[in-house]
Amino acid sequence: MNDCLFCKMVRGEIQPKKAYENERVLAFHDINPQAPTHVLVIPKEHIATINDLRAEHATLVGELYLVAQEVARSEGLGESGYRTVINCGRDAGQAVFHIHLHVLGGRPMNWPPG
Ligand code: AMP
Ligand code: ZN
């Protein structure tokens, strides 16, 4: 996906502040953080939204959460807690159409979300 912002990060054409990387997954700090810790965990494979997930992505989606857990632990959020969010589509406010798991923590969170 030539024009996808997050694919450009995967290819190294844009360099985010990385929090974690392996062969399948990249995690980096959000450019406009909404909490003291705000990391985005993405698959390196371009998948636009949750609606585009297929059965063969199940292991990869699970790995996004394992990386979120690892990032949260390394950011010192393992005990205090954190929120994970994947926005899907217009009403959820999805702005970048390459699936990403937000990991937010370091302050109390409200519920329900806005
Ligand atoms: P969403 O609204 O769920 O699609 O979230 C997109 C997120 O990507 C927002 O939290 C943005 O702040 C973040 N974002 C956009 N551009 C960049 C960038 N260049 N580096 C890091 N995060 C970004
Ligand atoms: Zn992409």
Global pTM reads 0.98
Find all residues with CB under 8 Å of 7, minimum gap 6, and list them. 1, 46, 98
pLDDT tens readout for residues 93-113: 999 999 999 999 999 999 999
- Position 1 scores a pLDDT of 76
Q: Per-residue confidence at 73, pLDDT binned at 50, 70, 90?
A: very high
| Residue 93 burial (C-beta neighbours within 10 Å; 0-12, 13-18, 19+) | exposed
Question: Is any ligand 1 atom within 6 A of the Cβ of residue 93?
Answer: yes
Q: Break the chain into its structural domains and give their ranges.
A: 5-105
Ligand 1 pocket test, candidate residues 10, 18, 40, 87, most atoms within 8 A of CB = 40
For residue 48, the SS3 value is coil
CATH architecture, domain 5-105: 2-Layer Sandwich (3.30)
- Position 58 scores a pLDDT of 98
